[in-house]
Amino acid sequence: MAANLAFNVDLIYACCPMLRNTKLQAAYEVAAPTDIVCAVLGDNMMEINRIVTAILDMYGLADATGIKDAVKN
C-alpha cells in the first residue's frame, strides 16, 4: 500500500505544475516537495485515487494492465 501511495503521489506531483510551487510548499511546511500532494489533499486517499485515475485516463492508461510499468516507461 505504501508503494502504491508513493506512485500515486509522484504521478500527481509530476502532472500538476502548481504543486511544484516552492512558496506553496513552504506555506504547508512540507519536508519533501512531493509531500505537498498529501498536505493539500488532506491525506484523502479517495481523492488521490480519483485524481490519479483522471490523469491515467487522460493518457489512455486507465484501463491498461500494468499501468505502473507503462507510466514508468
Predicted local confidence at residue 2, as pLDDT: 76
Mean pLDDT of 21-26: 96
Residue 66 has pLDDT above 60, yes or no: no
Predicted local confidence at residue 61, as pLDDT: 78
Predicted local confidence at residue 18, as pLDDT: 95
Instruction: Answer whether 56's CB lies under 8 Å from 67's CB.
Output: yes
Whose cell is 519536508? That residue is: 31
Q: What confidence tens digit (pLDDT) does each residue in 24-61 have?
A: 999 999 999 999 999 999 989 999 999 999 999 888 87
Predicted local confidence at residue 5, as pLDDT: 87
Give the whole-angstrom CA distance, residue 62 versus residue 33. 26
